[in-house]
Amino acid sequence: MSDADRLLREIFGFDAFRPGQAEIVEAVTKGENVLAIMPTGGGKSLCFQLPALSRTGVTVVISPLIALMRDQVRALQEAGVCAGALTSGNTPEETDAVWESLERGELKLLYMAPERLAAGSAMGMLRRIGVSLIAVDEAHCVSQWGHDFRPDYLRIGELRRALNVPLAAFTATADAETRDEIIEKLFDGTPPRSFLRGFDRPNIHLAFGAKNNPRRQILDFSAARRGQSGIVYCGTRAKTEGLARALREDGHSACHYHGGMEAEDRRIVETRFAREDGLIVVATVAFGMGIDKPDIRWVAHADLPKSIESYYQEIGRAGRDGAPAETMTLFGPDDIRLRRTQIDEGLAPPERRSADHARLNALLGLAEALKCRRQTLLGYFGETSEPCGRCDLCDTPPDVFDGTTAVRKALSAILRTEEWFGAGHLIDILIGAETDKVRARRHNQLPTFGCGKEYDKRQWQAVFRQMMGHDLVRPDPERHGALRMTEGARPILRDEATIELRRDTIRKADRRPAVKA
């Protein structure tokens, strides 16, 4: 694992880079002058924070908003990074602490408001402390024509000249005039390495599928793409071997790959994959870093990835040559349960856990999206776009129906049994199945018993899966995965909100006349 990947995991707690981040991190770490344009929320701060940790010396961060600086400093300190801010909002103790850590040579990131640069002493101080990088957040503030102009930003160019160190400038404002002005004022007119590629990978077709028979589904998908190089990602090491064997039996050239294999065996797979045409590698996420085969024609997920970031990174390995590439991601309730449990039982501190749940929710939202997947995906990364025409939902818009009544019935079954049961038992109650467990708990006497006979078991499973996808219910690891209602479900229960569900997955299982909406 590279240094950057290790820091990403260990310090920042992320399992994958967001679109664009890896390239920027690499350039900044190397000490190139960089101008990076990323949408708001795209994850700019990581692009200077992570390099600051890999480089020797202090990184000075110029940022216009004191509150934002304080937030970042606090988050870095909590992650065990030595960071400090010199702002007008400091208490004397805070300022002293910053000086002390500077003197001890421990400080890695020093945040400063641009006004500070005006003080005559600042330049001398910055010369003494061994600054090795200047990072400028909200770099468009140098633009005199923009509405965020901050005169003190004009001193940054001077600072760069005086210290003679690389500078990395970040902004979300992408118009050409602002860009030119940033280059003029911060880089003395010498164009830095610039990153302004959008996040979209238009040649990659996006698709999700409800998992019902994953082996069959993967075999069908690859049978339709015989002779093409592809990757199948699995959630566990054990699965990779079996699936690779099944693919070979189906006449493909396929092998497995995971982090538990001998380094030598892994290298053989990597080399074969790079050289051979049409090899399928069935792998865990350990496969991918450092793989830069341009003509991977497809990527399939036999299990749901960890987060929307991991998803983007993994499908992004397909079609680097720009030619059409296809992806398919399978997901089912077991995946959701597994990912939630991994988060809850992981070692991460509580606040990181809730962020991990949120990133998983974003992926589930994408999986259960009702309109263009690319729009949903790019929207999450801050980019707005039109319906793409190259995703499963654009190909066949899903048939949706008002699922409010069904969802309310399911929620009521959950609440009547005091949030102590999983989907299987709840479904038995809804369809009125007199199982031993139902009788033993007297759940056949609940008013909800048999109130959902309009659907069969599989249809209710689809409803529950979509409810999990919309984060209306979550399995509670402390109750053996019993489903509990989330805050998000309350408005539906109270009749203040309605919810649309996809009909296709429900109808597929339908053996009876069409379901009433």
- Nearer residue to ligand ADP within complex by CB, 9 or 215: 9
Least spacing, CB of residue 91 vs ligand ADP, in Å: 25
- Nearer residue to ligand ADP within complex by CB, 40 or 384: 40
Tokens 């109130």, residue located: 451
Would you give the distance in Å from CA 427 to the centre of its chain?
32
Q: Mapping DSSP to helix (H, G, I), strand (E, B) and coil, where does residue 14 land?
A: coil
CA distance 452 to 455: 6
Least spacing, CB of residue 10 vs ligand ADP, in Å: 13
Binding to Zn ion (CB under 5 A) within 387-406 occurs at 388, 391, 394
Q: Angle of helix 21-30 relative to helix 44-54, nearest 10 degrees?
A: 40
**Which stretches within 224-349 are classed as H helix?**
237-249, 263-275, 308-315, 333-345
Least spacing, CB of residue 200 vs ligand ADP, in Å: 17
CA distance 466 to 462: 6
Answer whether 344's CB lies under 8 Å from 477's CB.
Answer: yes
- Nearer residue to Zn ion within complex by CB, 394 or 415: 394
- Nearer residue to Zn ion within complex by CB, 299 or 391: 391
Tell whether residue 438 is a contact of Zn ion (CB under 5 A). Answer: no
**Which stretches within 369-496 are classed as H helix?**
373-380, 392-395, 404-416, 423-431, 436-440, 457-469, 490-493
Interacting residues toward ligand ADP by CB under 6 A: 14, 17-18, 21, 38, 40-46, 309, 359
- Nearer residue to ligand ADP within complex by CB, 51 or 209: 51
- Nearer residue to ligand ADP within complex by CB, 20 or 452: 20
412 binds, among Zn ion, ligand ADP, none (CB under 5 to 8 A by kind): none
374 binds, among ligand ADP, Zn ion, none (CB under 5 to 8 A by kind): Zn ion
Least spacing, CB of residue 229 vs Zn ion, in Å: 25
Within 13 Å of residue 439, how many CA atoms lie on the same side as its CB? 4
Least spacing, CB of residue 78 vs ligand ADP, in Å: 12
Rounded to the nearest 10°, the torsion over CA 499, 502, 507, 512 is 10
Do the strands 325-331 and 204-205 form a parallel or antiparallel pair, or are they unpaired?
parallel
40 binds, among Zn ion, ligand ADP, none (CB under 5 to 8 A by kind): ligand ADP
56 binds, among ligand ADP, Zn ion, none (CB under 5 to 8 A by kind): none
CA distance 471 to 465: 10
Least spacing, CB of residue 39 vs Zn ion, in Å: 19
205 binds, among ligand ADP, Zn ion, none (CB under 5 to 8 A by kind): none
Beta carbons within 10 angstroms of residue 173's beta carbon: 17
Instruction: Identify the residue among 160, 374, 470, 502 touching Zn ion (CB under 5 A).
Output: 374
DSSP lists the bridge partners of residue 51 as none
Tell whether residue 372 is a contact of Zn ion (CB under 5 A). Answer: yes
In the bound state, the residue with its beta carbon closest to ligand ADP is 43
Least spacing, CB of residue 17 vs ligand ADP, in Å: 5
Residues in the chain, overall count: 517
38 binds, among Zn ion, ligand ADP, none (CB under 5 to 8 A by kind): ligand ADP
50 binds, among ligand ADP, Zn ion, none (CB under 5 to 8 A by kind): none
Strands (E), 5-159: 34-37, 58-62, 83-86, 109-112, 131-136
User: Which residues lie near Zn ion (CB under 5 A)?
Assistant: 372, 374, 388, 391, 394
